[in-house]
Amino acid sequence: MNDKVVVVTGAGSGIGRATARAFAARGDQVVLVGRRLEPLMETGAGEPLVASVTDPAAIVEFVRSRYGRLDVLVHNAGVVRGGPLGSVVPSEVSEMLATNLVAPIMLTQEALPLLEASRGVVVNVSTAVGQRGWAGNSAYAASKAALDTLTRSWAVELAPRGVRVVAVAPGAIATPIGANQGWSPERIAAVRKWQLEVTPLGRVGEPDEVAWAIVRLASDEAGFVTGVVLPVDGGAMVG
């Protein structure tokens, strides 16, 4: 993996931060994409790029002009919006779909010439609830389940062009996503309680454990792996 160029979206915290650091530790050149500079600087494992994932042309142009290539594109940025039916606000769902689904589609499309030239890899960060379901937040679960479908569809579509497409589906992971979404401490605690109840290993995972899977799926040693959605969820999807 040494000297490959890697783009990680949502690199300012949680899984994105851990993934960027894991790639950098292998000697790769990492572009850290996020909306705020300070968290990206705290990640400290690559070159920060303050940009929205809804502006794919700006991201790809930066990578093209700065590095001239792209080997790995990690779609990690995501937001949680919505709630139980009866409380869903259309504008919030639209915002979530723009980040969780439309942005990966358009960014991959924009980056495809670079990925094809390098015979690169696309990594989608999905979620275990995309396959289990999430009663009380079906819109979020659906937005991430769509990434699983994209992974399988793109794996077939892009294989003739030399591009692999894989995904990881994290379960309960110790990230600040709930706090970042403005959830109350009570809601965060309730969600965590439910997650632990459906996780056979009985604990919360660490971002580094998800990053481990991402880096290895993107490695040359995984060159015969495409279209897979790998659960990193403590057994939640089979429990």
Question: 56-66 and 103-118 are packed helices; what angle lies between their axes, rounded to 10 degrees?
Answer: 20
The SS3 call for residue 141 is helix
DSSP code at position 163: -
- Exposed (0-12), middle (13-18) or buried (19+): which is 55, by Cβ within 10 Å? middle
The full DSSP string for 12-57 is TSHHHHHHHHHHHHTT-EEEEEES-HHHHHHH-SSEEEE--TT-HH
- Active-site residue flag, 67: no
**Residue-wise burial string across 16-40, b where 16 or more C-beta atoms lie within 10 A, e elsewhere:** bbbbbbbbbeeebbbbbbbeeeebb
CA distance 224 to 164: 9
Contact 232, 213 (CB under 8 A): yes
Q: Of 97, 140, 173, 211, which one is the catalytic site residue?
A: 140
Q: Active-site residue numbers?
A: 140
